[in-house]
Chain A
């Protein structure tokens, strides 16, 4: 126990901390500039000077450890004079442009000078000049205002791990700069903006239009881009969002955000936001009033139901919509129309992966807390780059490595590049060979505990690769052995699983093997989620065979329960998955499709086929915020409210239910749940709802998982599903896996494989509505490895024609030295230049996930003159 006195107050400490932190505990705030909680201490600004009895000199409290018997004073005349002197030093080269500076009002330097002086500067010489840099689309750097606290650099290196900026020069000539000296080449997390205490690094998005006192309201909400579910604060003025910021101590992201969360908030204000409902009249979409539109949809749905039965109607739910929205769509389908045909894009990877893993290991197997990753001593990542798919979760991996954990990546490491101990990049579609070898290595080391007999029985069937087969898959046996050695040393490991593990045939086998790795290592599993609410979509029953709460539709007990709660009947007949709905539509069996917040023509491969299928429908209703490609085909388009415009809940990949709060009112659209409830009401649904909270209220009764979980419980942030409910681990059900006994050889494809890129700066098609995100990543490009660029004779930025099985596109190339041989990447973001337009697909026979087919492509150089 350490006891000391600070400004006459007694402080008792269990473990040693700095005097600054000790002071904070007893409510004494010592002024600082370079100190920032969570960053390594620096001790450069010299503002936190304090007097310590028996020490002759003033001491910097941010670097001095508190020790027993210390007597500290933090505000004496001597200290005030010293602080005044430090501030005067800082001001000699600092422009006195507070009236003009965007930081005014939330500038630490300004505040400190107001408190300590000096009243007037005595520096008569010319100030150091350095023009403001507007070279970057997002970040404005004004180095005249910089106080060289280096908080931004420490943030960039030590927390974000991007290493994009550094101090250059020395002494009075020091500057904070990215490598180019101008434009940033970075992850654009913007976390440097949060920590800059002055107006040296600021966002360009609200340049000269933001002042802290302009902010009328601050609203805490959750990010709408991915399944991490970062908390953020919307700052609102005159019903517009002027800025989103993270806050230390708020949410699991604790002060950090990624580029999408921080800068992508303007995606709701893009050009072409729907302003009114539309109905197709003589082939053209014409604006109509809400009444007319709602009545039209209700009557058409009613007619189709009456003439063809509920099974002729289907619905697509959305990972971007709230639980309340999705629940309501599910309710409309199941309980009003009488159809189990409801599914979503979670079907591509997230839902089947989770369903499969749960069938093997029990319910809730992937419900693990994100901050636990940083504390683990080993991370095994496969199936995608967490720093791009779920960036703030990716930071946890970097943090684990920084504190000594080992990181093993199977597949291209992407943003983990500098944070990997074992980088296992196999030949394309050879992951299962490497996974088999890893599992073999773990079993050989005696890691089979016998706890899960079903798994261990199946593992006996596994055919292990020979050393030659492993080498042919691109991994040296020694490299693999070293990785396995490190896996075996982990005591508190984590397995992170991304969507790409499902790419290619035998998805179930790879999933099973990753699950087996986690089982044998006794690791926690995290499933990456590309949308903010894929988990919620599943939990709300937007899956053909699951009811709200995730119970199988076939279980009588559960059906009875929900029927009792709602007073409505669950349809008997099994429902169709998204892929089956496309098939059925093509065949003419599905007559009506209600699509909420999903651009099917974009997200599903084989555009022509999907277009054909949708074209055959009698009724296509699309509810969205923009006139997407799919909406453009619709018979009725209903404008919805967007993420920052509504209340509700999202369930993140940890299964934490979090509150989404309205920042501003939608200009035209309505909340999705409200639109659907209105339609339901017209079709005989009796229950009415006044708010999202009332919808949620019903969910907590309908879903056994959410029992007792009201908004007030959720508001605390600790609502990890299930809440007051059944235990996580269920019993092991039977499960099917394909191909454990075979090991396909590596075939040489006829051309490079086209794979989907999951870029950091974009997220589906929504992000292309954000001017900010577009300014960073404005146009599509095909990522190719250097060997291909030589072969084709194209340079960076040159063009190629990509000839795929399902389409042809001309694209710019970007040569990436880290791009895996034999593969090229294209994202699914931009109009006319997207992955989905080029390749085919099928559904995996075991898991039901999306399997990309026919994705070898032919590339031809296109000379610019030819264009």
Chain B
């Protein structure tokens, strides 16, 4: 159990207690933009681990000299519901990468902030008793390892270690992001479907210089704002409260899911069609693992790396891409994505074209 040591927490750090976990879960789900894996199971695990304690989201400056390892879950996160974690995967992966690099891991950060990987490093931090630095390599959820900010910034993702629930562990080194992607995919495909990935322990300054910082703090803020919304509030108010833009709200008219063509992209493409109940405007959202591109009346309005979020109109709970169904009554919102990506050299890796959508990135006005 991580104890908060007085005086060492800077002003930039955020403290999370049990009563705020719900907000955090909603926040990371919103950052997932419809993907990133189901946050429910990890939310419950985190609640159990945390108990009455506290969890500190540290600013990089609050962990000087620490060697942090980005950690998270990779593979088919939907399998997590069937193939449950043994509890030792984080430890195994961290030990393996620590042993390979010859450096102890003295802090953790997240691989991606959106979806369940916004929560899994917190569990790891609690389990391993390590401080958690609020930084991650995506600032949202995205499907590929070459979309890690480290890879985009030209840093190697290796050495790194993978461990899976039955205890098997492998260390991968001297390979680029695409090669690592292949290694990870073949590993999880032949084991339990998912694995914990821990990257090499890195001095915190270097680790966070090419990373998105403060994502979980933002998630918590989003979650808190979301929790403050009353049921039945106007859609426009929902968007304003969450700091985004309302694209529309109405019935889901069609959910098309295309099977993956053989030899094609690894993720199933699909689209969601919503008709705005007020204006009858036709909303179309192109999906892969996340909501990628939103169009209103045929015109692209918002795309990755900004966040397209679909909420249940009644409960305002976020709806995942794989859970949305024809007939759902939804609100479609766009939230600004991480500013880290808003640079021409970076955005090419995460814009619509990175997902095979021949469309320039459509971003919200910088807030």
The answer to whether A and B come from one shared complex is no
Binding site for A on B (CB under 8 A): none
